[in-house]
Structure 1
Amino acid sequence: MSSFSDSDLLLQRFYGHVDKRGGDVYLTQPFGGGAVVDYSFAEVFDQAARMAAHIESLGFEPQSKIAIISKNCAHFIMAELAIWMAGHVTVALYPTLNEGTARYILDHSDSRLLFVGKLDTWPELEPAVPEDLPCIAFPLAPKTSFTTWDEITAKTEPVAGKPTRAADDESLIIYTSGSTGTPKGVLHSFRTISVPTKGLIKQLGLSQNERQLSYLPLAHAMDRWLSGCVSLSIGSHVFFAESLETFVKDLNRARPTLFLSVPRLWLKFQLGVYAKLPKKKLDLLLKIPFIRGKVKKKVLTTLGLDNVRIAGSGSAPIPAELIQWYRDLGLELLEGYGMSENFNYSHLTRPGLGRAGYIGNTYDDVDCRLSDAGEILVKSPGTMVGYYKAEELTKAAFTDDGYLKTGDRGSIDEKGRLKITGRVKELFKTSKGKYVAPAPIENILNNDPSVELSLVSGSGMPMTHAVLQLSEELLPTLDQPGVKDRITAQLEQLLAHANSEIESFEVLGFLVVAKDRWTIEDGQLTPTMKIKRATIEEMYGPKQDAWYASKSKVIWED
């Protein structure tokens, strides 16, 4: 394990950049209408110090919980710094939560103050906020009656000096995104977020010259680590996205050197390329030596990724074929594996040492083993303090010798690289008595350009089946003559291909094209776009018998 001292803690690292590079731009925030504001390290420190002084004046007991509900924006980073400088603990809520979940988290976390930020669904969320909970509105917040950030910082003098926090002080609580039941509050200390940050920086050779675009939810551990903790530690330049509609513009403004995404978005980028340059034509061009390089550069430039030197994927398994597609373009996707419970600090693909279908190796100071049942067990310096107010759940999350039970099943190759083979609790048994792991089959289906997401099911049935979401690019064409017949034929070929890749007891009987889209707002996806398996299976449960009885290979949901 590498040496660690108080100078490696995130507040101390940030203060170092303020002292040495105060005038350099740290955060770049679009405000709409073409307006973009740069905030230097000194300006971010000044804003945070003024808000910290205001929080101190409220007289909360040390390490009180203070909540933020906002899409990614510069003031999210400033607010977290202010909360830490005032001696308290951040609780970030996903901006896409429904009212009931938001109310639960605000109550369970004992939040004493709420920062309300950039939101699309404030009317739905507002009833979740207790009437007696003080609130402060960010500059990009929807119109509210709350006191604003700017009003407070304009009249408040900065807190004295540069307050620091002890390594074992509580730093933040991350509420799990709830793909299985009630969210749990994952409590971290400054040590358990700072040590992984230092380890990632060392492993990837990151420097202050990095540029990154923050658009994945900061309420999730993955971007909180990369856009939040890593930027505070190395002093990189963080750009924020304005909206989904301006994403390409935002990406081109940032021209990131470090870019992280999730499998679903990496697939959407690929489908966007295919929409402009059909797969067969692109494959042909990439085989012609004297134009191959120009084609690769043009594709990456179109995506806004031509300056990326480190690209990562996390949050869910990514098909090996998709990783290879990007490698063929000259962009090596490094897969990371981890959980909120170990602050994502578990496994990472080593540049040049990746193996298709495998996550990669542990970090140098992480240990991993498999249980007798094949469950991945991890011991990491990023391991949580525990689940907030849930002693029994915390105890159940660990082995007797201190390894975190990940709930994932896996295998490890001769070079120590980890492969995820599914979730322990996702296994289901068909009527033939064989257990099926759905995730590997879903990866095969999701790798097809016509499929955006899939769910494999069939508990207690004679064979499995899959429900599919077609790629968004296909949706506008479905009413055109002959399109559905063409897609049906393609999906029949996909069904045959998938069945040739899996065991006989896993064979898919049919594919179902879902009528409605699965969304975060309607509860079928988590905020990080993972499928909520139980919710989706319950949706389609009443239709299963009719699907099996139809004997069709491809079914279009009525």
Structure 2
Amino acid sequence: MTIAEKLPPMQTVRGHSFNQDLQRAPFYFDGCDTLVKLFRQRCQELGPKIAHREKDFGIWLAYSWTDFYEHARLIGLGLIALGLKRGEVVSILSEDNKEWIYSDLGIQSVGGIASGVYTTDSAKQLQYLVTDSDSRFLFVENDEQLDKFLSVRDQMPGLSKVVVFDRDGLHEFADDQVIFLEDLYRIGREFLKENPNRFDEEIAKSQPQDTAILVYTSGTTGPPKGAMISHSNIIASVIGSALTLPVTPDDDQVCFLPLCHILERLITVFTPIGLKSTVNFAESPETVFDNVREVSPHVFTGVPRVWEKIYSRISIMANDSTPIGRWAYRQAVKTGMKRAAALEAGDPVPAGTKLAYAFWDFMVLGNLRRMLGFDRLRRGTTGAAPISPDLLKWYKAVGITVLEGYGMTESSGVISINLLEDSKNGSVGKVVPGSQVRISPEGEIQYKGANVFKGYWNKPDKTAETISEDGWLKTGDVGRIDNQGFLFVTGRVKDIIITAGGKNITPAEIENRLKFSPYISDAVVIGDKRKFLSCLIMIDQENVEKFAQDRKVPFNNFKSLCAAQEVRDLIGSVVDETNREFARVEQIKDFRLIDVLLTAEDEELTATMKLKRSFVEQKHKPLIDEMYG
């Protein structure tokens, strides 16, 4: 019997075939039931075509699908030669680059399990992740990340070898446990000569139920847990992308979110392999906006903080322009808002609004999109944290469509997503085709689909807590589904505030409204078992500094900036404006500014720049106590 005869009924969308029945495993995408089989097929099919680009000395260089395959093969075979066995874990500690995905696919292709580590993690966190995952090998980007390993190496006895991508600053370095990537390539070439078919043989051994990757949770409620994502989960996620957020072989996209996060892994590794798009690696998190202008991507995904930052920059630039420039910007956005309101309501855009929008689009908004690098953008997407509906309205007004989606590590990516042709602002869209969502009696969102993870690595008790007795993934989020099937996430179960008066409040909506201000980067509403709501606020450094400089407010550091009365009055006015949109019991009666500049290295922030509520409340307890007398 041929492979084709074994496949379940297929359907074809945009040239790709996959299972018609997404409830029945195994799942096939273009005839492949594992990611590595699909990877090999794509590389053979596309060969010299561009798979990805990366900057070197200021110049964008292109790398083909053949390059992708050959480098992954050498890495995989090199690891086998060094003793890697199927089912063993290899950790990767690096910023986004081509070597990250070469290692990722090389590891998976020979039956290993790839596990990413955030570059912002400390040496102690690295030690925990390597030890918890039983990693046999560790890839690190450079001397900075190597130093983390060296400082805790005695606490990681199971680690066999460390492979360093970048030799800069390490030319004189020698250590029996450390080799460089070129050494691994050499070992792989020597092994290839003796075993020319081994790589393809290992790929053929891959099974849908095999664990392909480990993705560690952010650890906001305890030690991070390694979510086991199978090849079947990944193939189901690629099918979901093809049905909801497709890309084409002509599309360019930019990779800049951490690749160890499931969202970027889906966007930069899984989906491009499935749908053949081209990935452009940003030089660094600090150069993202410059790189976006250079690439002018067709699709772009960012966490809410990225979209908030873009909006803040434009707001400040508009305020700094000439009087006529400010007037033109306001008129353009005002007209765009009218057009967006009509489109959102499903009504035809009035002829006058349509004509006015065409004028302002030509005069202002088109130039704005070109300046941002979004002149070719067909679709923006956002996820990983809540985003303000007002912010999405603003983007729609300036001609940029940003679609909000929802998912989690344990769902291998997307649970629901708004579509270009079917969206509702404020919602996270409709559930991915072939999957199901239900709301529990307690109001929790629960999910069932082919992309639900296998469980937590070596933690069956935690897995049992996350999967209901009848097989549904318990998301930990509170939400509702409207009569059109759109899902709304209103907060976290553990974040619900019950005031002293017995009123239940989900703080996410209040926090999102505050974050729409260009002067506020994040906020945590407090009030559980309290008489009223208060708030801890983190200001946007760049924009508030500009505000202070324009008004000649003296300050010499971030702490003194937060202490300035003019700054407190500024934030107070934002809080007052926000309060007008909520019932009295939901209004913020007092606030304090967090006067420490936080980065992803700080325990209060996740790698996607979300404040961890429990850490913030614990670390800034004196500020909270001060507000409640």
Instruction: Name the TM-score class by shorter chain.
Output: over 0.9
Query: Partner residue of 1:507?
Result: 587
Is residue 252 from structure 1 mapped to residue 293 from structure 2 by the alignment?
yes
**C-alpha distance in 2, partners of 1:142/1:344?**
37
> What code does the residue aligned with 1:474 have?
V
Say which SS state the counterpart of residue 277 (structure 1) adopts. Answer: helix
Quote how far apart the aligned CAs of 1:505 are. 2.3
| Deviation for aligned residue 1:344 | 1.7
Match of 1:556 in 2: none
One-letter code of the match for 2:180?
Answer: T
State the number of aligned residues: 548
CA shift, 1:140, in A, is 7.0
Contact 1:117/1:141, CA 8 A, preserved across alignment? no
Q: Quick check: 2:282–2:288 contact (8 Å CA) kept in 1?
A: yes
More moved, 363-372 vs 11-20: 11-20
Q: Which residue of 2 aligns with 1:70?
A: 94
Structure 2 CA distance, aligned partners of 1:244 and 1:56?
A: 33
1:29 match:
54
Look up the equivalent residue of 2:544 and give its one-letter code: L
**Which residue identity does 2:267 align to in structure 1?**
L
Match of 1:156, SS state, is helix
Distance verdict in 2 for CA 1:478–1:548, change over 3 Å: farther
Equivalent runs, 1:34-45 vs 2, <5 Å? 34-45=58-69
Q: Distance in 1 between matches of 2:84 and 2:68?
A: 23
Deviation at 1:431, TM superposition (A): 2.5
Report the equivalent of 2:183.
151
1:481 aligns with 2:555: no
Q: How does 1:167-206 map to 2 (within 5 A)?
A: 167-206=208-247
How far, CA to CA, are the matches of 1:520 and 1:218 in structure 2? 15
- Contact 2:446–2:474, Cα closer than 8 Å, also in 1: yes
Letter in 1 for 2:162: C
1:236 positional shift: 1.4
How far apart are residue 178 of structure 1 and its match?
1.6
Code of the aligned partner of 2:623: K
Which of 68, 83, 86 aligns to 2:107? It is 83
Instruction: Measure how far apart 1:485 and its partner are.
Output: 5.1
The C-alpha deviation readout for 1:154-209, integer Å capped at 9, x for no partner, is 45324525323111111011001122221011001100111111221222232222
Deviation (angstroms), 1:127: 2.1
**Bigger shift: residues 85-94 or 53-62:** 53-62
Quote how far apart the aligned CAs of 1:500 are: 2.5
Counterpart code for 2:70: D
Aligned to 1:553: none
In 1: Cα distance, 2:180 partner to 2:471 partner: 45
Instruction: Tell me the amino acid that sits aligned with residue 263 of structure 1.
Output: P
- CA positional deviation for 1:124: 4.3
Give how far 1:495 is off.
2.3
Q: Partners in 1 of 2:105 and 2:278 — Cα distance?
A: 16
- Structure 2 Cα separation of the partners of residues 366 and 140 of structure 1: 46
CA–CA separation in structure 1 for the residues paired with 2:439 and 2:277: 37
Distance verdict in 2 for CA 1:290–1:374, change over 3 Å: closer
Distance 1:184 1:457 in 2: 27
Q: Secondary structure at the match of 2:596?
A: coil
Which residue identity is paired with 1:149? L
1:19 pairs with one of 32, 38, 44: 44
Deviations 1:85-117 (A, max 9, x none): 211111111111122221111001000011112
The answer to whether the 8 A contact 1:99-1:124 is kept is yes
* 1:358-412 alpha-carbon deviations (Å, 9 max, x no partner): 1110011110010001000000110001111011111111112111000000011
CA distance 1:388–1:155, change in 2 (3 Å): closer
Work out whether 1:299 is the aligned partner of 2:368: yes
Deviation at 1:481, TM superposition (A): 3.3
Number of the residue aligned with 2:323: none
Structure 1: how far apart are the matches of 2:430 and 2:477? 16
State the partner residue of 2:470.
Answer: 401
Query: In the alignment, what sits opposite 2:424?
Result: 355
Aligned-pair identity (%): 26
Q: Name which of 149, 165, 171 aligns with 1:138.
A: 165
1:523 aligns with 2:609: no
Cα 1:416–1:128 change in 2 (3 A) is farther
What residue is the counterpart of 2:413 in the other structure? 344
> How far apart are 1:514 and its partner, in Å?
2.1
Considering only CA atoms, is the larger Rg found in Structure 1 or Structure 2?
2
Deviation string, structure 1 residues 64-103 (Cα, Å, up to 9, x no partner):
1111111111011100111112111111111111222211
Structure 2 counterparts to residues 192-271 of structure 1, below 5 A: 192-271=233-312
Cα deviation code 1:400-439 (max 9, x no counterpart) = 2111000000011111101111000011322223232211
Q: Give TM-score scaled by structure 2 length.
A: 0.83
Corresponding residue number in structure 1 for 2:621? 541
Could you tell me whether the CA contact under 8 Å between 2:435 and 2:450 is conserved in 1?
yes
**8 Å CA contact retained: 1:448, 1:494:** yes
Shift of 1:509: 0.7
Distance 1:476 1:494 in 2: 17
Moved more, 478-487 or 168-177: 478-487
Give the letter aligned to residue 116 of structure 2: A
The match for 1:412 is: 481
- Could you tell me which residue of structure 1 aligns to residue 318 of structure 2? 277
Question: Contact between 1:179 and 1:530, CA under 8 Å: does it hold in 2?
Answer: no
Moved more, 508-517 or 62-71: 508-517
**Aligned-pair Cα RMSD in Å:** 2.1
Q: Which moved more, 1:516-525 or 1:362-371?
A: 516-525
Q: TM-score, normalised by structure 1?
A: 0.93
Structure 2 residue runs of 5 or longer lacking an equivalent are 1-18, 22-26, 320-325, 336-355, 555-563
Matched, 1:451 2:520: yes
CA distance in 2, matches of 1:166, 1:242: 35
Shift in Å at residue 281 of structure 1? 5.0
Distance 1:204 1:245, change over 3 A: closer
1:125–1:333 Cα change, 3 Å: farther
- Structure 2: distance between partners of 1:374 and 1:334: 24
> By how many angstroms is 1:440 displaced?
1.2
Distance 2:146 2:311 in 1: 33
Query: Distance in 1 between the 2:50 and 2:438 partners?
Result: 43
SS of aligned partner of 1:512: strand
